[in-house]
């Protein structure tokens, strides 16, 4: 079993040699392919942003990132260097190979208009949300993904501790400007991202900011 | 006497509600059943029905998933439920919420104080690695069954596939999390007779498996049976305990009420 304490590890990869680099503004979606063996780096450019991300098998999208398989496999809820992201078929999808943040959330899920009505107030439903980003990205794609595929996601750079007495807390982020997490793809993937636009809680320090994606072949 | 509760020579109606839920008035009881350890079943049930779930022995685990019977794309959502209520355990007052911001079911009574919402599920490879091969050919209906396969069978009956299988609630189990995020399974949590009332706030498909929790450290595959009695409770009233438990619960129940405008 992998312990899930914070494990900081820097990467030796050179951003100048990346085959792909893109900056995603706050509140925008991103759907991109990553091939087996490639390395994906996600950079929290300005700090305390939440990048809400889902992964799918590129050749069989019924196989998706599974929070329950992942946390059962490693025996704990936080993601950091060495964590293996498992699929709903119990197979490794990606491995976290570097992490200068040290803790990423598996339980907080993605915001939605509907969940905003529950968490804050009925009239919050017209605010932009991660679910809208996900739906927009997949509606405009030929991925075959639908709402049924919007399963619990990873919130990179977000800190959602669980206490020993069973409370779920939304703490200040452990991330900061320029911190990054790097993942090696263990299969061909779709990567579905919402760069979270939530303004009702401190998950983005009330100031959503851009994130950067780099891919090495 | 309600004919649906009265066995005949031809119809072997289950009468164990008298043991499972002896305090319930007979005129409100709809049916009862006992899910043998490891086994699975599902029902399509209307809003206003309450399920009394009763551990028949120590160490019971019942994995439960919920889908809106009118619109199966709406389903139970673990993260939305947990973050709305700032909780990593379920007890009386908590509401199981859908991905569409609606109350699907509410916990209206509970003898335990902690049911596991983290959704860990025993799959067949893990089951075989832990308990060994124990298939039908040799063991007939004493074969070992995994929670994942049990739930896949049940949701498959409604056209739902593996991509639709959501993280379940593991009733009767307790898993806490330490400061480094590691799981601690509490092996002596549920005892025989422990019970929970789950009120269905919308018309739902409810699928269950009584297979062992994947963190259960016992070396033998001996999951406990779980008794079930469905009774007519009516939907949440305005003075309902769960509505008052947290404002988020009130809003989720309101959102469901909006699906049932006359």
This model of the complex carries an ipTM of 0.93
- Owning domain of residue A170: 22-216
Residue B5 placed within a domain: no
Give chain A's length: 217
Q: How close is the nearest chain B Cα to the Cα of A14, in Å?
A: 31
The neighbour count for residue B38, using CB atoms within 10 Å, is 25
Q: What is the Cα A180 distance to its own chain's centre?
A: 12
Classify residue B219: in a domain, yes or no: yes
Residues in chain A within 8 Å Cβ distance of B102: 114
Residues of A in Cβ contact (< 8 Å) with B125:
90
With beta carbons under 8 A apart, name residues in chain B contacting A151: 163, 166
Task: With cut-offs at 50, 70 and 90, classify the pLDDT of residue B165.
Answer: very high
Per the structure, the count of domains in chain A is 1
For residue B25, tell me if it sits in a domain.
no
d(CA A123, CA B95): 21
- Whether A9 maps to a domain, the answer reads no
Establish if A99 belongs to a structural domain. Answer: yes
Give CA–CA dist B261/A195, Å, rounded: 36
Closest-CA distance, B241 to chain A, in angstroms, reads 17
Alpha-carbon torsion B96, B101, B104, B109, what sign? positive
Range of the domain at B237: 31-260
pLDDT of residue A2: 52
- Statement: residue B212 has pLDDT above 90: yes
Residue A140 within any structural domain of the chain = yes
User: Which chain A residues are within 8 Å of B73, Cβ to Cβ?
Assistant: 147-148
B106 lies in some domain: yes
Write out chain A's pLDDT in tens, 217 residues.
455 689 999 999 999 999 999 999 999 999 999 999 999 999 999 999 999 999 999 999 999 999 999 999 999 999 999 999 999 999 999 999 999 999 999 999 999 999 999 999 999 999 999 999 999 999 999 999 999 999 999 999 999 999 999 999 987 778 999 999 999 999 999 999 999 999 998 777 789 999 999 999 9
Residue A120 lies in a domain: yes
The answer to whether residues A27 and A113 touch, using CB atoms and an 8 Å cutoff, is no
Question: A212 in a domain, yes or no?
Answer: yes
* Spatial separation of the C-alpha atoms in residues A39 and A34, rounded to whole Å: 8
Distance CA B15, CA B19 (A): 8
Within a domain: A158 = yes
B14 in a structural domain? no
DSSP string, B44-88: EE-TTEEEEEEESSTT--EEEEEEESS-TT-BB-HHHHHHHHTBS
Tally the domains of chain B: 1
pTM for the full predicted model = 0.96
> What are A34's two structure tokens?
């990553």
How many CB pairs below 8 A link A and B?
Answer: 140
In a domain, A2, yes or no: no
Our CA-based measurement puts residue A135 at a distance from the nearest CA of chain B, in whole angstroms, of: 13
Name chain B contacts of A162, Cβ cutoff 8 Å. Answer: 88, 177, 181
Q: B2 in a domain, yes or no? A: no
Residue A1 lies in a domain: no
B237 touches chain A (CB under 8 A): no
Residue B20 pLDDT greater than 60, yes or no: yes
* CB interface of B with A, residues 151-180, below 8 Å: 161-167, 176-180
Beta strands in B47-203 (DSSP E): 49-55, 62-68, 95-97, 103-110, 169-171, 175-177, 183-185, 195-200
pLDDT at position A1: 45
Q: How far is A3 from chain B (nearest CA, A)?
A: 7
In a domain, B3, yes or no: no
Give yes or no for a contact between A168 and A54, defined as CB atoms under 8 angstroms apart. Answer: no
Other C-beta atoms within 10 Å of B96: how many? 27
What's the token pair of residue A52? 């809400």
Q: Tell me, rounded to whole angstroms, the distance of Cα B41 from its chain centroid.
A: 11
Q: Considering the domain boundaries, does residue B22 fall inside one?
A: no
């Amino acid at each position: 079993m992998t312990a899930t304490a914070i494990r900081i590890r820097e990467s030796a990869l050179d951003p100048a040699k990346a085959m792909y680099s893109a900056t995603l503004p706050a509140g925008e979606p991103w759907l991109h392919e990553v091939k087996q063996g490639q390395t994906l780096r996600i950079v929290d450019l300005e700090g305390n942003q939440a990048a809400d991300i889902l992964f799918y098998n590129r050749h069989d999208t019924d196989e998706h990132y599974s929070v329950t398989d992942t946390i059962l496999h490693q025996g704990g809820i936080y993601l950091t260097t060495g964590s293996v992201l498992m699929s709903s078929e119990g197979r490794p999808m990606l491995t976290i190979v570097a992490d200068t943040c040290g803790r990423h959330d598996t339980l907080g899920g993605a915001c939605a208009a509907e969940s905003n009505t529950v968490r804050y107030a009925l009239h919050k439903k017209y605010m932009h949300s991660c679910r809208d980003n996900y739906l927009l990205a997949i509606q405009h794609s030929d991925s075959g993904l639908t709402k049924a595929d919007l399963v619990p996601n990873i919130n990179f750079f977000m800190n959602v501790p669980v206490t020993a007495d069973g409370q779920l807390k939304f703490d200040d982020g452990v991330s900061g400007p320029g911190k990054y997490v790097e993942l090696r793809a263990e299969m061909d993937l779709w990567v579905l991202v919402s760069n979270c636009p939530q303004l009702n809680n401190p998950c983005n320090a009330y100031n959503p900011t851009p994130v950067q994606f780099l891919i090495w072949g | 006497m309600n004919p649906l509760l009265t066995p005949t020579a031809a119809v072997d109606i289950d009468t164990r509600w008298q043991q499972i839920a002896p305090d319930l008035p007979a005129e409100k009881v709809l049916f009862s059943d006992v899910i043998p350890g490891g086994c699975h079943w599902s029902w399509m049930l209307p809003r206003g029905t309450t399920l009394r779930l009763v551990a028949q022995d120590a160490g019971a685990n019942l994995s439960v998933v919920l889908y809106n019977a009118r619109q199966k794309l709406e389903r139970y959502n673990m993260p939305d439920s947990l973050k709305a209520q700032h909780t990593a355990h379920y007890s009386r007052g908590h509401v199981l919420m859908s991905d569409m911001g609606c109350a699907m079911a509410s916990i209206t009574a509970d003898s335990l104080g902690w049911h596991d919402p983290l959704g860990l599920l025993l799959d067949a490879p893990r089951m075989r690695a832990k308990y060994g091969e124990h298939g039908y050919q040799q063991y007939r209906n004493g074969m070992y069954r995994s929670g994942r396969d049990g739930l896949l069978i049940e949701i498959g009956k409604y056209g739902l596939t593996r991509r639709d299988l959501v993280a379940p609630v593991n009733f009767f189990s307790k898993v806490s999390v330490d400061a480094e995020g590691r799981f601690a399974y509490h092996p002596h949590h549920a005892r025989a007779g422990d019970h929970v009332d789950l009120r269905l706030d919308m018309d739902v498909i409810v699928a269950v498996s009584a297979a062992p929790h994947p963190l259960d450290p016992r070396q033998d595959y001996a999951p406990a049976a779980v008794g079930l009695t469905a009774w007519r409770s009516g939907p949440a009233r305005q003075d309902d305990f769960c509505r008052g438990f947290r404002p988020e619960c009130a809003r989720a129940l309101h959102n469901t009420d909006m699906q049932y405008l006359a």
